[in-house]
């Protein structure tokens, strides 16, 4: 296996995975460097969960390869598993056990026991502010606390690489901040590489780098700043009056201004470095057609729209995001 970047901890090369006729992953390649916090951003159904499951050694790709910390996820799953901490979207805690019992159980799955296990539990619990909740039954905890216990369970095993699937699902804003602080600390103190999937723009904006996944392809890759500044300035969104076709208006604006205008969810969008002046001009040129006008700094959502011509909500649910109802699973 050749490593194009010697610092890459996760190397994904040309991964393909189909479910029936549908290509959930259509040749994705990316690298995550050591100590990086990388976000896979995409709508539900874009393919990021499929990629997550392959990286977590739970699913096999049809073709292509994925290497984590120098070990192939297909050929050498045990080595990958020994180095990987996985935080699932639905918590992998046992509600009938206390946090402490869950942590002991979680550590035992990685061969930890005795004083070593107890001291790691103390460290992980204090890192996530769980020390005085250790005796609580998990099913009695709030979502935020459960998520913290889940991450503590992951920290016990001191993973080189952390995979997190939609980690802030069900967390209140405060708990989200805590989660990101915990990730930052892991990275700075222990050099942990983290890859997390998310469909939340705000979350992706905090990552070192973002990969945008749509329809099984990687449509954009870079730091959040690189991605947003690559757009041509600010974004103008125009609401269209009833009776006026959005497509027609977009075409006429493009003819008039020479800038490509696109239609997204019945709104006309275009980007410009002089958005304010341009907006004023368009508003003057098409007074009867425009019902609303908005100018905003580009966000990752605008990057997504610019690269795919679609809004996030437009994509369908991934078939593998739910269990197949009747099929036997082995």
Partner 1 sequence: MTPAKQLLWTPSVAFWWRDVIRFLRQRNRIIGALATPLVFWLLVGTGFGPSFRNPAAVAAAGAAGSYLAYFFPGILVLIMLFTAIFSTISVIEDRREGFLQGALVAPLSPAAIPLGKFLGGTTLAVLQALLFCLLAPLAGLPIGLHQILLLMPALIVTGFAMTGLGFLVAWPMDSTQGFHAIMNIFLMPLWMMSGALFPMPVGTGWLHLVALLNPVSYGVEAIRSSFAPTISESLFSGYVTGVCVTALFAAVLFAVSVRLVAKRSRRG
Binding site for partner 1 (CB under 8 A): 56-60, 71, 76-79, 81-84, 86, 88, 90-97, 101, 104-106, 108-113, 153, 157, 323, 325, 328-330
For residue 231, what are the contacts with CB-CB under 8 A and spacing of at least 6?
A: 271, 298, 302, 303, 306
We find the least distance from the C-beta atom of residue 226 to partner 1, in angstroms, to be 32
We find the least distance from the C-beta atom of residue 169 to partner 1, in angstroms, to be 12
Find the helix or strand (DSSP H, E) in which 31 lies: strand 22-33
We find the least distance from the C-beta atom of residue 122 to partner 1, in angstroms, to be 19
Task: Between 86 and 210, name the residue whose CB sits nearer to partner 1.
Answer: 86
Task: Between 105 and 317, name the residue whose CB sits nearer to partner 1.
Answer: 105
Task: Between 83 and 251, name the residue whose CB sits nearer to partner 1.
Answer: 83
We find the least distance from the C-beta atom of residue 147 to partner 1, in angstroms, to be 12
Task: Between 288 and 325, name the residue whose CB sits nearer to partner 1.
Answer: 325
Residue 304 to residue 41: CA distance in whole angstroms: 9
Task: Between 83 and 310, name the residue whose CB sits nearer to partner 1.
Answer: 83
**Structure-derived torsion over alpha carbons of residues 226, 228, 231, 237, reported in degrees to the nearest 10:** 180
Beta bridge partners of 164: 87, 196
Residue 163 to residue 88: CA distance in whole angstroms: 8
Residue 328 to residue 330: CA distance in whole angstroms: 6
10 Å Cβ neighbour count for 289?
Answer: 21
What is each CA distance from 44 to 7, 47, 162, 314, 321, in whole angstroms?
A: 30, 8, 21, 10, 8
Task: Between 58 and 280, name the residue whose CB sits nearer to partner 1.
Answer: 58
We find the least distance from the C-beta atom of residue 76 to partner 1, in angstroms, to be 7
User: How wide is the angle at C-alpha 10 spanned by C-alphas 33 and 314, nearest 5°?
Assistant: 100
Nearest-CA neighbor of 213 among 51, 20, 8, 12? 51
Task: Scan for tokens 């011509």, then name that residue.
Answer: 309
We find the least distance from the C-beta atom of residue 175 to partner 1, in angstroms, to be 19
Q: To the nearest 5 percent, what fractions of the chain are helix, strand and coil?
A: 40, 25, 35
Give, as one character, the DSSP assignment of residue 205: T
We find the least distance from the C-beta atom of residue 33 to partner 1, in angstroms, to be 20
Task: Between 119 and 223, name the residue whose CB sits nearer to partner 1.
Answer: 119
Task: Between 58 and 230, name the residue whose CB sits nearer to partner 1.
Answer: 58
Residue 28 to residue 51: CA distance in whole angstroms: 9
Residue 97 to residue 89: CA distance in whole angstroms: 19
We find the least distance from the C-beta atom of residue 170 to partner 1, in angstroms, to be 13
């Amino acid at each position: 296996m050749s490593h194009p970047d010697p610092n890459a901890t996760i190397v994904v090369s040309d991964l393909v995975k189909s479910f029936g006729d549908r290509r959930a992953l259509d040749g994705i390649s990316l690298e995550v460097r050591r100590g990086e916090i990388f976000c896979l951003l995409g709508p539900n159904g874009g393919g990021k969960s499929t990629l997550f499951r392959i990286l977590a050694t739970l699913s096999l790709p049809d073709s292509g390869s994925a290497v984590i910390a120098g070990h192939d996820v297909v050929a050498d799953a045990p080595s990958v598993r020994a180095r990987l901490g996985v935080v699932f979207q639905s918590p992998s805690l046992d509600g009938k056990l206390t946090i402490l019992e869950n942590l002991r159980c979680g550590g035992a799955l990685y061969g930890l026991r005795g004083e070593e296990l107890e001291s790691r539990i103390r460290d992980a619990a204090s890192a996530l502010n769980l020390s005085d909740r250790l005796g609580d039954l998990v099913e009695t905890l709030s979502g935020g606390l459960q998520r913290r216990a889940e991450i503590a369970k992951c920290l016990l095993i001191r993973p080189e690489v952390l995979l997190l699937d939609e980690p802030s699902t069900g967390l209140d804003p405060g708990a989200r901040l805590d989660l990101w602080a915990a990730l930052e600390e892991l990275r700075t103190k222990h050099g942990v590489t983290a890859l997390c999937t998310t469909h939340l723009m705000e979350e992706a904006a905090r990552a070192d780098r973002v990969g945008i996944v749509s329809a099984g392809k990687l449509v954009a890759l870079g730091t959040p700043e690189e991605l947003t500044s690559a757009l041509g300035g600010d974004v103008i969104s125009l609401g269209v009056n009833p009776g006026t076709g959005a497509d027609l208006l977009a075409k006429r604006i493009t003819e008039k201004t020479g800038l490509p205008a696109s239609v997204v969810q019945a709104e006309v969008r275009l980007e410009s470095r002089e958005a304010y002046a341009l907006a004023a001009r368009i508003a003057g040129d098409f007074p009867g057609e425009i019902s609303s006008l908005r100018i905003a700094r580009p966000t990752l959502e605008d990057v997504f729209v610019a690269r795919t011509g679609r809004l996030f909500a437009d994509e369908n649910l991934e078939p593998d995001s739910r269990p197949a109802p009747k099929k036997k699973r082995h």
